[in-house]
Chain A
């Protein structure tokens, strides 16, 4: 490992007893100072990967090095380098926010003289200064997530793991957290490994994205490169009447491959065709369509192209099969 705050994973497998392979042989590299977005539906293996990389779970097979240290053989060294905010905030309801920060600072061996100041600074930074001396039992879900983030930052870690940090947050808190993560990378050069099931989050925040489904990485690259790989835009037509749907499907099939969509009739446009070609054909054939829309590829399209399912659909499936959790 050439730098001291990157992540390298080779052939990582994690099997649960009597369960499927939650992580099924993944390889990935995160460069120092990079924000890596790990995108996938619930139950895809995101959280399990984070648990292994943060030394919370031992891998069944494969190797992982975080900050240059092996997560199995050099767990204590890994833990001094990383900050972690898990999906379910690991907090004690009987302690106050300030108690948590002091405890975390002690555990991470922050010098005694700096502990109180660091706690105060972080409480202000995450907007919890007023609630600092209240027991966590009375915090809202959003407040708990913010405290969890502050705790992850107490010892100024070089590598930050954020497991679905914005799930359950209101849009304002979500934007604030995105801003905070960008700032950490920009000003402190922190490497960020972020899991999410939100396409927009991965798109906005991540330098590179790994898409995981059923324990395997199905695509990896910058958001722009992944979308460019899909290349062609999709065309969405809204029928005026439901009865017109078969006719529109037949008509559009001439211009590209059909896409699954319950809301409209959609196709992936063939190379060389544009919206004007379709509009001309609609006029010429006298097809009755309420609205036509051309959409640039999204990460959801990438997911669809790689797995045959939409991210939303896969999340719902996972919820039915296993309940939430990654």
Chain B
């Protein structure tokens, strides 16, 4: 029994819904652009704060955060779709038709990735159009996008796991808020070294901080702690995959 037909079927359908319905496509596309505009545009003077040292400039500094944020939220928004499918009963069709049900989760994950790929492409074009400078080479950029891809998987597997446990769109705040908090408890506006007070303590223990710093390092051409960042991202990806897999088992036990 092949897995790919289920993965591709679910991914194609989910992606079609996500890209052809304005109420789904607009927030996914507009929010990252909006955050990028507001942060990179409104806060650019932060580069003059004593101790702020990021040669490519504040636009590139914020681009990395918004790229990771869009990756995580493309995953979360796809999780909303999973919850909606369970709420309106469509998930029953998938559970009944898919010989290997793990393919359903992988199909949603593939859709989340492709959905983010569209957002990331637009975001990157806009960033270069407004004059973003980069210091890293092609390998660094590949590193950045692979890291973001892992964040996308984490975002989806977390939200998808919640969606399959609660099976209602009313759980959306529970899927969204923790991701929002993890993102904003990282060094969003200035590097970790310039944070003070409680946020510094929180950011230091926040795994996303290291992923973000490595990502910014990639775009500057001197990525710090690359292995640690990838190990963290892969570790979180595996943990959240397991969370989603157990969520599928819960949904199966409940009959969809």
CB neighbours (8 Å) of B6 from chain A are 106-107
Count of interface residues, chain B, beta-carbon cutoff 8 Å: 30
- Chain A residue nearest to B104 (CB atoms) is A107
CB neighbours (8 Å) of A90 from chain B are 89-93, 96
Cβ distance A135 to chain B, nearest Cβ, rounded Å? 10
Cβ distance B92 to chain A, nearest Cβ, rounded Å? 4
- Chain A residue nearest to B100 (CB atoms) is A76
* Bound Cα distance A81, B102 (Å): 19
- Given A80-B1, A106-B9, CB of A99 within 8 Å of CB of B92: no
Whether a CB of chain A sits under 8 angstroms from the CB of B141 is: no
Q: Is B17 in contact with A104, judged by CB distance below 8 angstroms?
A: no
- Given A94-B17, A99-B16, CB of A106 within 8 Å of CB of B85: no
What range describes how many residues of A lie at the interface?
A: 20 to 34
Cβ distance A240 to chain B, nearest Cβ, rounded Å? 53
Cβ distance A70 to chain B, nearest Cβ, rounded Å? 15
Whether a CB of chain B sits under 8 angstroms from the CB of A151 is: yes
Q: Is A94 in contact with B21, judged by CB distance below 8 angstroms?
A: yes
- Chain A residue nearest to B21 (CB atoms) is A94
B229-256 interface with A by 8 A CB criterion: 252-253, 255-256
Whether a CB of chain A sits under 8 angstroms from the CB of B49 is: no
* Bound Cα distance A58, B252 (Å): 8
What per-residue 1/0 map shows which CB atoms of A51-93 lie under 8 Å from chain B? 1001111100000000000000000110110101010111111
Among A77, A80, A92, residue most surrounded by chain B Cβ atoms (within 10 Å): A92
What per-residue 1/0 map shows which CB atoms of B35-49 lie under 8 Å from chain A? 000000000000000
CB neighbours (8 Å) of B10 from chain A are 107
Q: Is B99 in contact with A56, judged by CB distance below 8 angstroms?
A: no
Contact of A84 among B5, B8, B17, B96 (CB under 8 A): B96
Q: Is B13 in contact with A95, judged by CB distance below 8 angstroms?
A: yes
Whether a CB of chain B sits under 8 angstroms from the CB of A109 is: yes
CB neighbours (8 Å) of B98 from chain A are 79, 107
* Bound Cα distance A84, B147 (Å): 42
CB neighbours (8 Å) of B256 from chain A are 56
Cβ distance B165 to chain A, nearest Cβ, rounded Å? 15
What per-residue 1/0 map shows which CB atoms of B1-37 lie under 8 Å from chain A? 1100110111011001100010000000000000000
- Given A56-B92, A92-B17, A99-B16, CB of A108 within 8 Å of CB of B252: no
CB neighbours (8 Å) of A84 from chain B are 96
- Chain A residue nearest to B4 (CB atoms) is A109
- Given A79-B98, A92-B90, A99-B13, CB of A107 within 8 Å of CB of B255: no
Cβ distance B169 to chain A, nearest Cβ, rounded Å? 13
* Bound Cα distance A78, B179 (Å): 39
What per-residue 1/0 map shows which CB atoms of A96-131 lie under 8 Å from chain B? 000100011011110000000000000000000000
CB neighbours (8 Å) of B13 from chain A are 92, 95, 99, 103
- Given A58-B252, A76-B99, A80-B1, CB of A104 within 8 Å of CB of B89: no
CB neighbours (8 Å) of A103 from chain B are 9, 12-13
Contact of B93 among A57, A58, A76, A151 (CB under 8 A): A151
Contact of B9 among A79, A91, A107 (CB under 8 A): A107
CB neighbours (8 Å) of A106 from chain B are 5-6, 8-9, 12
Q: Is A91 in contact with B93, judged by CB distance below 8 angstroms?
A: yes
* Bound Cα distance A86, B2 (Å): 25
CB neighbours (8 Å) of A80 from chain B are 1, 99
Whether a CB of chain A sits under 8 angstroms from the CB of B94 is: yes
Whether a CB of chain A sits under 8 angstroms from the CB of B88 is: yes
Q: Is B1 in contact with A76, judged by CB distance below 8 angstroms?
A: yes
What per-residue 1/0 map shows which CB atoms of A7-19 lie under 8 Å from chain B? 0000000000000
Contact of B85 among A57, A79, A92, A151 (CB under 8 A): A92
CB neighbours (8 Å) of A77 from chain B are 1, 99
- Chain A residue nearest to B90 (CB atoms) is A92
CB neighbours (8 Å) of B100 from chain A are 76
Cβ distance B20 to chain A, nearest Cβ, rounded Å? 8
* Bound Cα distance A68, B71 (Å): 45
Among A76, A94, A103, residue most surrounded by chain B Cβ atoms (within 10 Å): A94
Cβ distance A53 to chain B, nearest Cβ, rounded Å? 11
Contact of B253 among A58, A93, A108 (CB under 8 A): A58
CB neighbours (8 Å) of A55 from chain B are 96
Q: 3 tightest A-B contacts by CB?
A: A106-B9, A90-B93, A57-B255
10 additional A-B pairs beyond A76-B99, A77-B1, A86-B92, beta carbons within 8 Å, are A55-B96, A58-B253, A77-B99, A82-B96, A90-B90, A95-B13, A95-B17, A107-B10, A109-B99, A151-B93
CB<8 Å pairs between A and B, sample of 20: A51-B255, A76-B1, A77-B1, A80-B1, A86-B96, A90-B89, A90-B90, A90-B91, A90-B92, A90-B96, A91-B89, A91-B93, A92-B88, A95-B13, A103-B13, A104-B93, A106-B12, A107-B5, A107-B97, A151-B93
